Amino acid sequence: MNPSEIVEAPQKYKYHDVNGQYIVFKKKENGDFMHLAIKMKDQTYYIDEISMSQNAPYDADMIFYYPISFLGKDIVEVRGIMGANYSPTLFIAIESSKPEILLKTEGPVFHYDFDKDGTKEVVSSYGTAAQTDFFKYVDGQFLKVNINDALGAEAVHFNEGTGIFEAYLKNKETHKYEYTKNGLKQIDQ
């Protein structure tokens, strides 16, 4: 990353956190967004857009960093903020000499072992009428299914405490589903 691309990166936007220095900044050519970079040793790596910049100091303070172990790797989960119901989340692996984005979601995430195979899947919900995406790691990559599309639902909410999806269908019915090894199963018939 070329430092001349940065238009604004006051100390308030810098984070010295997990496995490197996390820097939130604005670019000269794209002032509507705040971006994330990670400095490791003497190299700075551009990661992605992470927040809107209208309320830059406030939004920079609202970006959260979580070190987690996921899929047997040391991951940093970074949760940005783009709007009231839109909070992109990045899973960044820091095991090699440079960071790697393993997964980017449109909203905050829940980790849950739905099929009880010892590997947690990822669920992300975003939007006013909640769009819910389901991610499963298979053969070295994440597969994504939008639960709303799969069920023909206007909104789908996930209850982390129970592991149940509640779908508000287009015909105004509401149904509850659980994820099993065989896929989604309606449980309130």
pLDDT above 90 (res 149)? yes
User: What would the pLDDT profile of 163-175 be if each residue is shown by its tens digit?
Assistant: 999 999 988 999 9
Burial of 138 (0-12, 13-18, 19+ CB in 10 A): exposed
Note the pLDDT tens digit of each residue in 43-76: 888 888 888 766 555 556 667 777 888 888 888 8
**Predicted TM-score (pTM) of this structure:** 0.82
What is the DSSP secondary-structure string of 65-105?
A: EEEEEETTEEEEEEE-BSBTTB--EEEEE-SSSS-EEEEEE
Nearest-angstrom CA–CA distance, 38 and 75? 13
* Greatest mean pLDDT among 71-85, 95-109, 154-168: 154-168
Per-residue pLDDT tens digits for 151-162: 999 999 999 899
Domains and CATH numbers, the chain: 108-189 (2.40.128)
The answer to whether residue 100 scores a pLDDT higher than 60 is yes
